[in-house]
Amino acid sequence: MIEFTVNDFDCRETISLRYADLVLTLPSRIRVLAWPVHPSKKISPTDALGTGLILAQSTPSRLPFAEDLLRTLCLPEAYAEIVLNLLPTLQEIFPHLMDD
């Protein structure tokens, strides 16, 4: 299993790839999730550390276009395509991203 997180465009994206066989180039199970993280929106006066800042986070959304790319292209090519299309997709899913 390969899993990594990327923080871009006021969002966090988590990519999880599982391989049924280590010899295979393409993963057998793929999941790509994204959710906005807004440092300007506080949801509580104090956090566990007493800093007074807790970041508001939405429910994660799947990115099917990214999952499809990872299903059909090798990881470096798929990642390059995902990066190229990520901002417009995130703006479509989370239109308020550009409002901040």
Whole-prediction pTM: 0.74
pLDDT in tens, 52-100: 444 445 689 999 999 999 999 998 999 999 999 999 999 898 887 656 5
Q: Which residues, other chains included, contact 29 with Cβ-Cβ below 8 Å and sequence gap of 6+?
A: 16, 17, 18, 20
Helix H segments across the chain? 64-72, 75-93
User: What residue ranges do the domains of the chain occupy?
Assistant: 2-99
pLDDT winner (highest mean) among 10-14, 47-51, 69-73: 69-73
Whole-Å CA distances, 93 to 11, 19, 28, 45: 11, 28, 26, 28
The three-class DSSP label of residue 90 is helix
pLDDT for the residue 97 = 67
Which whole number is the average pLDDT over 26-40? 86
Q: Do 44 and 57 meet the contact criterion of CB atoms below 8 Å apart?
A: no
